[in-house]
Structure 1
Amino acid sequence: MLFLSVLLLAAAFLVGSLPLGHWLLRRAGVSTRLNSAHNLGVENVLRRVGPRLAFGSAALDFLKGLLAVVMASSLGPGYGGVMVLAGLAAYLGHLNPPRFLYGETPPRGRGNLVLLGVLAGYAVTGALPLWLTLVPLVVYAAVAGYWGFISAATLAALAALAGVGALLPLTTGSKVGLLGLGLAAAWRFKENVGRILDGTEARLGEEVPVAGKRDDVVVAAFMIHPMNLHDFWSAPRFAWLRPLVEKRLVTEKSVRRMADEMRPMKVGELRGIRTAQGKEIRCYLLSAPLLPDRFRDNPELATRRAIEGARLAHELGAEVFGLGAFWSVVGNKGVDVQAAVPEITITNGGAYTSGTIKAAIPGILKHFAETGRDLKQATAGIVGANGVVAFGIARTIAPQVGKIIMIGRDAERLERSANTLRRANPNTDIVTTTSYDSLNEADLIFSATSDPNPVIFPQHVKPGAWIFDEGRPADVDESVRNVPGVRIIPGGLVTPPGSMTTGIDLQFGVGNVPACLAETLIIAATGEHQRKSLGPQTLTENINFFVDEAEKLGFKVVD
Structure 2
Amino acid sequence: MLFLSALLLLVAFLVGSLPLGYLLLSRAGVNTRLSNAHNLGVENMLRLVGPGLATASALLDAGKGLLAVLMASSLGLPEVSVLAALAAYLGHLNPPNALYRPLYGPAFGRVPPRGRGSLVLLGVLAGVAVTGAVPLWAAALPVVVYAGVTGYWGYVSAATLSGLAAFAAVVALLPIGVPAKLGALGLLVAAGWRFKENIGRMLDGTEPKFGEEVPLAGKRSDEVVAAFMIHPMTLENFWSAPRFAWLRPLVERGVISEASVRQMAANLRPMKVGELRGIRTPEGQSIRCYLLSSPLLPDVFDTNPELATRRAIEGARLAHELGAEVFGLGAFWSVVGNKGVDVQAAVPEITVTNGGAYTSGTIKAAIPGILKHFESEGRDLKAATAGIVGANGVVAFGIARTIAPQVAKIIMLGRNLDKLERSAATLRRANKDTEIVTTTDYAALTEADLIFTATSDPLPVIFPQHVKPGTWIFDEGRPADVDESVASIPGVRIIPGGVVRPPGGMTSNIDLQFGEGAVPACLAETLIIAATGEHGRKSLGPQTLSENINFFVEQAARLGFEVVD
- What is the DSSP-based 3-state SS (H/G/I as helix, E as strand, rest coil) of the residue aligned with 2:328? strand
Q: Is the 8 A contact 2:36 2:112 kept in 1?
A: no
Distance, in Å, in 1 between the alignment partners of 2:37 and 2:446 is 53
The residue type paired with residue 12 of structure 1 is A
> Is 2:381 aligned against 1:375?
yes
Contact kept in structure 2, 1:217 and 1:279, CA below 8 Å? yes
CA contact (8 A) 2:37 2:113 kept: no
Q: CA deviation at 1:189?
A: 0.3
In 1, Cα distance between equivalents of 2:284 and 2:13: 50
Which position in structure 1 is the counterpart of 2:140? 134
Moved more, 530-539 or 163-172: 163-172
Greater alpha carbon shift after TM alignment, 28-37 vs 273-282 = 28-37
- Partner of residue 298, structure 2: 292
| Cα distance in 2 for residues equivalent to 1:300 and 1:326 | 13
Partner secondary structure for residue 50 of structure 1: helix
Q: 1:229 to 1:337 in 2, by over 3 A?
A: same
Contact 2:228 2:292 in 1 (8 A): yes
**In the alignment, what sits opposite 1:465?**
471
For residue 467 of structure 1, report the CA deviation from its aligned partner.
0.3
Task: Using structure 1 for the length normalisation, give the TM-score.
Answer: 0.98
Measured in 1, the distance between the counterparts of 2:155 and 2:96 equals 29
Deviations 1:42-81 (A, max 9, x none): 22222111112211111111111111111111112xx111
Deviations 1:213-244 (A, max 9, x none): 11111111100000011100100000011011
Does 2:508 correspond to 1:502?
A: yes
Q: What is the match of residue 227 of structure 1? A: 233
- 8 Å contact from structure 2 (residues 328, 522) kept in 1: yes
Out of 81, 87, 93, the position equivalent to 1:89 is 87
Structure 1 runs of 4+ with >6 Å offset: none
Q: Structure 1: how far apart are the matches of 2:465 and 2:446? A: 7
**Deviation of residue 31 (structure 1)?**
3.2
Query: Which amino acid is 1:137 matched to?
Result: V
Cα distance, 1:314 vs structure 2: 0.8
Partner of 1:73: 73
SS of the residue corresponding to residue 531 of structure 2 reads helix
Task: Summarize the alignment of residues 369-518 of structure 1 with structure 2, pairs less than 5 Å apart.
Answer: 369-518=375-524
**In structure 2, what is the Cα distance between the partners aligned to 1:93 and 1:289?**
30
Alignment of 1:104-143 (within 5 A): 104-143=110-149
Query: Are the aligned partners of 1:33 and 1:107 in contact in 2 as well (CA < 8 Å)?
Result: no
TM-aligned CA deviation for residue 30 of structure 1: 2.1
> Residues 103-252 of structure 1 correspond to what in structure 2 (within 5 A)?
103=102, 104-252=110-258
The reply on whether 1:350 has 2:356 as its aligned counterpart is yes
Cα deviation, residue 24, structure 1: 1.3
Distance 1:456 1:23 in 2: 59
Alignment check: 8 A CA contact 2:282 2:560 kept: yes
Distance 1:312 1:231 in 2: 22
Distance in structure 2 (CA, Å) of the matches to 1:108 and 1:512: 35
Equivalent AA in structure 2 for residue 113 of structure 1: L
Do structure 1's residue 22 and structure 2's residue 28 form an aligned pair? no
- 1:140-183 deviations in Å (ceiling 9; x for gaps): 00000111111000000000110122122221011000000000
Output the CA distance in 2 between the equivalents of 1:423 and 1:34.
54
Task: Tell me how far apart the structure 1 counterparts of residues 285 and 273 of structure 2 sit (CA, whole Å).
Answer: 24
**Which amino acid in 2 is paired with 1:447?**
T
- The two structures, once aligned, show a CA RMSD in angstroms of 1.0
Deviations 1:445-478, CA, capped at 9 Å, x for gaps: 0000111111111111000000000011111111
Aligned-partner residue type, residue 476 of structure 2: E
1:16-39 per-position Cα deviation (integer Å, ceiling 9, x unaligned): 111111111122222333233614
Cross-structure match for 2:106: none
Q: Distance in 2 between matches of 1:378 and 1:503?
A: 44
Could you tell me which residue of structure 2 aligns to residue 34 of structure 1? Answer: 34
Between the aligned partners of 1:277 and 1:449, the Cα distance in structure 2 is: 36
Give, in whole Å, the separation in 1 of the partners of 2:392 and 2:384.
22
Q: Is the 8 A contact 2:39 2:214 kept in 1?
A: no
Report if aligned partners of 1:37, 1:210 keep a CA contact under 8 Å in 2.
Answer: no
Contact 2:275 2:288 in 1 (8 A): yes
- When structure 1 is superposed on structure 2, of 487-496 and 17-26 the one drifting more is 17-26
Aligned position for 2:526: 520
> Residues 37 and 44 of structure 1 are in contact (CA less than 8 Å); yes or no, is this contact kept in structure 2?
no
| Distance in 2 (alpha carbons) for counterparts of 1:344 and 1:45 | 22
Between the two proteins, the alignment pairs up a number of residues equal to 557
Does structure 2 retain, via aligned residues, the 8 Å contact 1:37–1:208? no
In 2, Cα distance between the equivalents of 1:465 and 1:412? Answer: 28
> Contact (CA 8 Å) 1:34, 1:314: kept in 2 or not?
no
CA distance in 2, matches of 1:37, 1:497: 31
The residue number in structure 2 matching 1:53 is: 53
State how far apart, in whole Å, the 2-side matches of 1:188 and 1:28 are: 28
1:10 partner letter? L
- The amino acid that maps onto 1:298 is N
Asked whether the equivalents of residues 35 and 210 of structure 1 are also in contact (C-alpha less than 8 Å), the reply is no
Match status 1:306 vs 2:317 = no
Find the aligned partners of 2:320 and 2:258 in 1 and give their Cα distance.
Answer: 33
The one of 324, 329, 333 aligned to 1:327: 333
In structure 1, how many angstroms separate the alpha carbons of the residues matched to 2:545 and 2:170? 65
Distance 2:359 2:376 in 1: 26
Q: CA-to-partner distance for each residue in 1:282-315, whole Å, 9 max, x for gaps?
A: 1100000011111111111111111111111111
Q: Which amino acid aligns with 1:373?
A: R
After the TM superposition, which of the residue ranges 101-110 and 333-342 deviates more from structure 2? Answer: 101-110
Same amino acid, percent of matched pairs: 78
Please give the secondary structure, in 1, of the residue aligned with 2:438: strand
Q: Which runs of 5+ in 2 are unaligned?
A: 103-109
